[in-house]
Structure 1
Amino acid sequence: MDARTYNAELAELRVLRDGIRKAQAALEKLETDRARKITALAGYEKAKAERIAPAAGLSLADIVAIAPILAPDRLVTAAQPNPVAVPPSSEPAAPPAAAAQAPEPAGETALSSGPGPAQEQALSRAGTVAPAMTRPAPEAAAEPELSAAPSAPPSGSLPALPSVLASVAAGPLAAHTAQRALPGVPEGSEGDRWFAHTANLASTHPNFTQQARSTAFLDTHTGVLVHRDQTFRIDLPTASAAEILNTVFHVLPGGVERIYITAGAPWHRQAAQHPFLKDSVGAWLNAPAPGWRTDTGRGKDRLAGHFVHPRNPVGRYQREQGEQHVEIRSVGEWFDADGVEPVVVRDAFVLLWRALRRFWPDAVLMGSPSQTGRDLWTRTIPTKGQYADGFPVLSEELRGLFHATAGQGRTELITPPRVPARLPALVEYDRTFAYAKHTWKSGVGTPRRVTAATFASWSQKEQTKALFACGHWHVRVTVPAGWTHIGILPAPAPGDRAWHYPAAPGTTFTTWAGGPEIHTALSNPHTPWKVEILDGVVFDDGKPLDDWSKKLREAWSSLTAQAGLNGDPGQRTAAHLAARAVRALLLYGIGAFAQRPRTVTGTTPRSMERDVPPDAEIIGFDDQTITWQRPTGFTRDPNAHPEWAAHIWSSARAALLSQRHREDSTYAGALHAPPGTVVAFRTDAVYLTQPQPWPHHGQPGDYLNKGHLPGPVPAPTTEDELLTLRDRGRAAHHAAPAPERA
């Protein structure tokens, strides 16, 4: 073969690659649609897997894996003698044989971000020694607030916190399939090396002031452009990136550095031509823009290149000739501006900036709430005292462990037969500004490892204190016999970083969880769960986020008050949006601490295909451009603190189940609703079949009744169905008379 033939064969290979990519995308879409249709059919009370399987062209096992409620009764019967197995019909979040996992001793699993579906495997291990938690006598209560109570106390009371007894040996566990394995900490010196900080890397108070950027607000649907106190109307027939840039810079000869799209979503205009929204966005961002090229970054703000996101992308451009840099962003990163005019959106940003300036004289609104929130936090880092040198960053190994084992908000849909096929009602309760409730305490100092043997050697007081501290625990959990309520602790489910919440009695699984959730499992108002400590990471308690959070809460309260009192409808809307933006500052600021491994997105002209990085994955292409992405791992980010994000997320998930209101002497949360009435969770919200008398005083963490759809209504079996019912419930709730809403 000569060079000419070689190059010709390469060209033909690229054509085949492009065809395969398109065919795979089409196949994935068809398979997704098929799974949704199967899930919808499973909601029919007389649906049978035997009839659906041939219609779908799948086996019975495949059908049950997609819709576990269709599992034949014989599988349930066969599972009963084994207390570890999960009855398929009672746990729709995972395939019938996938809801339990054998213990995973430390040191047997290499650190990774978790295997993908092709790497999932059954585990069968035995003989691990771990301290077990059991229910104590009433006098063993560890917290004065938690008084002894019957096994099923009424809402408003909690049983005593169970004591932690001596270690016990775990017996052999049955093997289970399709369970995602979580990493652990290696034994010996290798594991000890993890418990340190990264050298010469710490969060410190900045010694510079952020520079404000000239910003414009554009509705690409109506063509309304707002810049400072000026309003223009421009013509955007195609609303391509090139057309937006050239038209805006023609109207504003001095230019701008940031353009927020308030409505129109121009990156979705060609969505029908692509199998996925992300492909449509990538094509829009990478379309030729004469006179412009992709920005390569500058100064301290080193973000460069386009950010391909299905709904809130970021396009970063630079003049071919000159030093003009500009970003095109979606205002949806900050708040939902649906139906709001660009001038009101501008006013919202002005109100937000003024509210923040009360607490941070040098506050500057950056491109996104995560950037802005974390920048404001750095300006609360003390310059004197214990942490004058900053907050050190964990070792890369521990950051990787938190990344792989600490989930975020709880998202779960509970389908029939665990809830009625027709619901008597659908009531939505959303926790107001929830994360602000859980920032008062975070882990600081050098992390300490607590092995199973160490934990077992401690007194009950020491064990309880450790569980109330900021920590992350590797545990083996068993759902108690006779349990009839929802799951409490997250378990790894099949798929990359997927989680579910086992609730079937007798289910045993191994997972990682924060202290707040473990406390909830032990002291829930029904029956304590069995939790065995396998390993743990514990920190000293500190308040690195408290000052930052308090200032944001005050800004939020001020803007919320303005939204309720201002007589001008436009200013009321602007204040409401500004308050939502403060929420985003805290919410996404906390998410930024998690510091996920970075993925870089790039583009290469088709004529220079050999320049695509060898470790890159091609995610899109057209006749001119190849779009690719590749992982770059963890960067040396001085503000990476996944331990803080993990503790807040754990606290929020626990409060979604049980939260004490001291001033009202009562409890709220899903575990205080009757069994069988919980329909779904969505991060800070819980959906029930009946209203609850939970107090709401407008404070962070309070449960707000946001929707009430009277029944009977069909139980949702997909997320889209849930969101449709949610929107109907909110509309019905707002239309109801005020006393009924209260």
Structure 2
Amino acid sequence: MDRKTYTAELAGLRELRTEITAAEKAVAAAQKELDKLTVQRARRVAGLAGYEGAKADAIAKASGLTLADVVRIAPLLDPTPAAVRAAKTDSQAAADAPAPAPVAAPGAEPASVVAPVTRPAAVLEQPVPAAPATEAPREDEDQAVAEQPAPVAARVESAVSVASVAAALRPVVEAGPRELPALHEGLAGARFEAVTTGLVSKRPNFVQQARSTVFLDAATRDLAVRDQVVRLDLGARTPGEILDAVLATAPGTERIYITAGAPWHDGAERYSTLKDAVAAWLNTPSERWTTAVGSGRDKLAGHFVHQRQPVGRYAPAASPEGPVTEIRSMGEWFDPDGADVVTCRDAFRLLWQALRRQWDDAVLMGSPSQTGRDLWSRTIPTTGKWAGGYPVLSEELRGLLHATGGQGRTELILPPRVPEQLPALVEYDRTFAYAKHLWKSPVGTPRRITARAFAAMTEQEQTKALMSCSHWNVRVTVPQGWNHVGLLPAPVTGDRAWVYPSEPGAPFTTWAGGAEVHLALSNHLMPWKVEILGGLLFEDGKPLDEWGKRLKAAWADLTNLSKLHADERQRQAAYLASRAVRSVLLFGLGGFAQRPRLVSGTTPVGEALPAGVEILGQANEVVTWQRQAGFSRDPYAHPEWAAYVWSGARAALLDMKYRQGKEVIASAGALHAKPGTVVYFGTDGIALTERQPWPYRGEPGDYLLKGHLTGPVEHPTSQEQYLKLRGQGRAELAQMGADQ
């Protein structure tokens, strides 16, 4: 090529560059217009769902969408057979029963996303039932997570769910052993000693933006905005009327916390389940408001349906891409327990102040789970081995931990192991329990320990391995002569998932954390027979230690204030704020244990089913199925941390040492009570038939006497009955204290 040709080519390249730039601008403009039209279409589809006779297939044809896309936007139009829908009633009734205590981020929002496929129709992605809920997306644009809330009302759970289909269509069988996964051999096993490439938990380089927040008592209609209280006219208490009333008084509000009155339960008697009632309320048609569908990098889109703590996200109907306003429940943070709206506002303010003393950039986000994980991310070290962040384990290893790392122990012990007539029902609750177990956690890539390698260790090396951050596959036999509660969890089918065998001679194979295995081998009553089949040994680290210390400091400040403040309202507010700190830790920890998603769907009889599905049942010529959908690439997924803390907490329910320096000064837990006196385990508490001499110092992990119901008491036959008795015992103990 000569110089003349070279010069001519350069000139031509410049012209081409100009044409490309113009084309790019045209594409960007077209994409912007397409996004705008798509949002309008979604809003219209959602609006059509409010018509009683609306049909998903007709709307799909008119809109040019697939049936699955229509269901994604308006789940109430889901064409799933009525028989499957109706079957939700029984299973949902059980789900609506009160729980003894939250165990793993129930306040967090699972990322249920409709899979946009053409066939089979009505495919919904949901987290594994009864698992710690995955945290909702972070409220910033710089740190988007892979799993996002579904647009419009896609997370309305009136659509068929894995749990409801399974409960309705599977035959009723007795719970039996459930086979747990094991470590693979050879090349396949290498993935169980690996991390996910390019996925690391890093310290954020931005500051969260606070959102304008108000507090509304929907019963009294009082609104606390800044330092004022205003009485509103809420009309029929629909979302649109609440938004109109609040924003007319407090323009620019981005978050409304309902402290009392639960408007989403209005008219609940007309629906088969509470969730259906909540879903209908969230999607009440409004001329002025529409469900926020989000656009571009905006992650705040769609509603989250929960029977008692829903989240509604709304945007102006005239501008769906405009500012989003959330309606949320105060119960995500703490039980207001009759507190007025001013006290709830003061509690939120005290919570922020307490956290701000520990983090100079602390911001209260929508939920405790979001807040907890954001605060943790700001404790990631900037120096040392983990300055670059903590790596996320491989999908295989995360899957193993999800399948084998149970949560808090919940067990009602029935006669004849305890008397049918209880002499009393005494409840002990571990104060701020999980905070005691954050000082050490597994980090890095684990080392696989085979049965042969463990057997070759010296006794001292074995003890060290068990006391380190570890997870073990074991074959267990309950010893002859054992007459106390079970020590290790055994997997079973059915709703319970885990039981705790205690019958002498009972054999089972399971996985458990090193703390539990060591306790079974070395407890002071009688050592159990435990054979190590294999395990994973992590490096001991402190990824949660700083986070835990700061939360404990905030909790201690608020707890002291709740006892010492001269003003009764401020004492109550401080107490509620201390409960909110507990929620931040509890649900923040649960947010690390993110579950693999399940995809469920329907296919007409006779058509080919997707690969790898499990058939759940058949009704009205439609086959219902489910399959695993794997994990998202979430940089904050650390199930190894949650599993280790849960294991330590379960062990402490059995045996916990009170120390003064290095000296053990007292012990507590079920194994230190008489055989036959333990009635109930409830995550971080125990109910017994008699009082115990366990000291209480007010420190995290200490056993606090929480309730005492004088007997004789008829033994509860269900968790619901136990919870009723527990409430009576707490009331009786409070009265005893008031009389003294």
Q: TM-score, normalised by structure 2?
A: 0.73
- The amino acid that maps onto 2:208 is Q
Contact 2:93 2:273 in 1 (8 A): no
For the residues of structure 2 that align with 1:258 and 1:601, how far apart are their CA atoms?
Answer: 33
Q: 2:160 is matched with which residue?
A: none
What secondary structure, in the 3-state scheme, does the structure 1 residue paired with 2:400 have?
A: helix
Q: 1:687 is matched with which residue?
A: 687
Q: Does 1:429 align with 2:428?
A: yes
- Cα distance, 1:586 vs. partner? 0.9
Q: Does 1:260 align with 2:323?
A: no
Contact 1:442 1:647 in 2 (8 A): yes
Distance 1:532 1:601, change over 3 A: closer
Q: 2:732 is matched with which residue?
A: 732
Aligned equivalent of 1:281, options 271, 278, 282 = 278
What secondary structure, in the 3-state scheme, does the structure 2 residue paired with 1:201 have?
A: strand
Contact 1:202 1:392 in 2 (8 A): yes
Q: Does 1:361 align with 2:360?
A: yes
Q: Tell me the matched-pair count.
A: 577
Identical positions, percent: 59
What secondary structure, in the 3-state scheme, does the structure 2 residue paired with 1:308 have?
A: coil
- The amino acid that maps onto 2:380 is I
Contact 2:450 2:533 in 1 (8 A): yes
What secondary structure, in the 3-state scheme, does the structure 2 residue paired with 1:380 have?
A: coil
Contact 1:426 1:709 in 2 (8 A): yes
- Cα distance, 1:21 vs. partner? 3.5
- The amino acid that maps onto 2:377 is T
Aligned equivalent of 2:199, options 193, 198, 201 = 201
Distance 1:228 1:301, change over 3 A: farther
Q: 1:463 is matched with which residue?
A: 462
What secondary structure, in the 3-state scheme, does the structure 2 residue paired with 1:576 have?
A: helix
Q: 1:708 is matched with which residue?
A: 708
Q: 1:454 is matched with which residue?
A: 453
- The amino acid that maps onto 2:542 is K
Q: Does 1:220 align with 2:283?
A: no
For the residues of structure 1 that align with 2:586 and 2:236, how far apart are their CA atoms?
Answer: 35
Q: 1:545 is matched with which residue?
A: 544
- The aligned runs of 1:553-702 (5 Å cut-off) are 553-598=552-597, 633-663=630-660, 665-702=665-702
Contact 2:191 2:397 in 1 (8 A): no
For the residues of structure 2 that align with 1:600 and 1:227, how far apart are their CA atoms?
Answer: 42
Distance 1:216 1:632, change over 3 A: farther
Q: Spell out, residue by residue over 1:222-268, the C-alpha distance to the aligned partner (whole angstroms, 9 max, x if none).
A: 1111111121112334322222222222222x231111111111222
Aligned equivalent of 1:24, options 63, 82, 87 = 87
- The amino acid that maps onto 1:267 is W
Q: Spell out, residue by residue over 1:487-511, the C-alpha distance to the aligned partner (whole angstroms, 9 max, x if none).
A: 1111112226711111111111111
Q: 2:375 is matched with which residue?
A: 376
Moved more, 313-322 or 563-572: 313-322
Q: 2:177 is matched with which residue?
A: 179
Distance 1:733 1:30, change over 3 A: closer
What secondary structure, in the 3-state scheme, does the structure 2 residue paired with 1:343 have?
A: helix
- The aligned runs of 1:53-202 (5 Å cut-off) are 178-202=176-200
- Cα distance, 1:271 vs. partner? 2.2
Contact 2:463 2:518 in 1 (8 A): no
For the residues of structure 1 that align with 2:570 and 2:409, how far apart are their CA atoms?
Answer: 34
Distance 1:31 1:734, change over 3 A: closer
Moved more, 513-522 or 493-502: 493-502
Q: Spell out, residue by residue over 1:78-100, the C-alpha distance to the aligned partner (whole angstroms, 9 max, x if none).
A: xxxxxxxxxxxxxxxxxxxxxxx
For the residues of structure 1 that align with 2:437 and 2:92, how far apart are their CA atoms?
Answer: 39
What secondary structure, in the 3-state scheme, does the structure 2 residue paired with 1:553 have?
A: helix
Contact 1:660 1:668 in 2 (8 A): yes
For the residues of structure 1 that align with 2:236 and 2:626, how far apart are their CA atoms?
Answer: 27
Contact 1:263 1:338 in 2 (8 A): no
For the residues of structure 2 that align with 1:116 and 1:448, how far apart are their CA atoms?
Answer: 37
Distance 1:22 1:241, change over 3 A: same
- Cα distance, 1:600 vs. partner? 9.7
Q: 2:234 is matched with which residue?
A: 236
- The amino acid that maps onto 2:670 is A
Contact 1:120 1:180 in 2 (8 A): no
Moved more, 290-299 or 552-561: 290-299
Contact 1:413 1:679 in 2 (8 A): yes
Distance 1:599 1:305, change over 3 A: farther
Contact 2:428 2:686 in 1 (8 A): yes
- Cα distance, 1:26 vs. partner? 4.8
- The amino acid that maps onto 1:224 is D
Q: Does 1:721 align with 2:721?
A: yes
Distance 1:643 1:120, change over 3 A: farther
- The amino acid that maps onto 1:231 is V
What secondary structure, in the 3-state scheme, does the structure 2 residue paired with 1:366 have?
A: coil
Aligned equivalent of 1:311, options 302, 308, 313 = 308
Q: CA RMSD in A?
A: 3.3
What secondary structure, in the 3-state scheme, does the structure 1 residue paired with 2:539 have?
A: strand
Distance 1:363 1:420, change over 3 A: same
- Cα distance, 1:571 vs. partner? 0.5
- The amino acid that maps onto 2:190 is D
Q: 1:51 is matched with which residue?
A: none
Q: 1:148 is matched with which residue?
A: none
Q: Does 1:294 align with 2:291?
A: yes
Structure 1 unpaired stretches of 5+:
34-112, 123-175, 603-612, 618-627
Q: 2:72 is matched with which residue?
A: none
Distance 1:557 1:630, change over 3 A: farther
Q: Structure 1 residue runs of 4+, over 6 Å off?
A: 29-33, 115-122, 298-301, 599-602, 613-617, 628-631
Contact 1:656 1:684 in 2 (8 A): yes
Contact 1:315 1:327 in 2 (8 A): yes
- Cα distance, 1:526 vs. partner? 1.2
Distance 1:274 1:649, change over 3 A: same
Contact 1:601 1:629 in 2 (8 A): yes
For the residues of structure 2 that align with 1:508 and 1:673, how far apart are their CA atoms?
Answer: 25
Q: TM-score, normalised by structure 1?
A: 0.73
- The amino acid that maps onto 2:83 is I
Contact 2:234 2:242 in 1 (8 A): yes
Contact 2:175 2:492 in 1 (8 A): no
- Cα distance, 1:297 vs. partner? 4.3
Distance 1:536 1:214, change over 3 A: same
What secondary structure, in the 3-state scheme, does the structure 2 residue paired with 1:283 have?
A: helix
Q: Spell out, residue by residue over 1:22-76, the C-alpha distance to the aligned partner (whole angstroms, 9 max, x if none).
A: 542456579999xxxxxxxxxxxxxxxxxxxxxxxxxxxxxxxxxxxxxxxxxxx
What secondary structure, in the 3-state scheme, does the structure 2 residue paired with 1:372 have?
A: helix
For the residues of structure 2 that align with 1:476 and 1:245, how far apart are their CA atoms?
Answer: 58
Contact 2:450 2:534 in 1 (8 A): yes
Q: 2:243 is matched with which residue?
A: 245
Contact 1:694 1:703 in 2 (8 A): yes
What secondary structure, in the 3-state scheme, does the structure 2 residue paired with 1:226 have?
A: strand
Contact 2:439 2:544 in 1 (8 A): yes
Q: Does 1:321 align with 2:384?
A: no
- Cα distance, 1:723 vs. partner? 1.2
What secondary structure, in the 3-state scheme, does the structure 2 residue paired with 1:686 have?
A: strand
For the residues of structure 1 that align with 2:296 and 2:646, how far apart are their CA atoms?
Answer: 33
Contact 1:563 1:576 in 2 (8 A): yes
Q: 1:79 is matched with which residue?
A: none
- The amino acid that maps onto 1:709 is L
Distance 1:362 1:26, change over 3 A: closer
Q: Spell out, residue by residue over 1:342-396, the C-alpha distance to the aligned partner (whole angstroms, 9 max, x if none).
A: 1111111111111111111111000011110110111111112211100111011
Q: 1:489 is matched with which residue?
A: 488
- The amino acid that maps onto 2:639 is P
Q: Does 1:211 align with 2:209?
A: yes
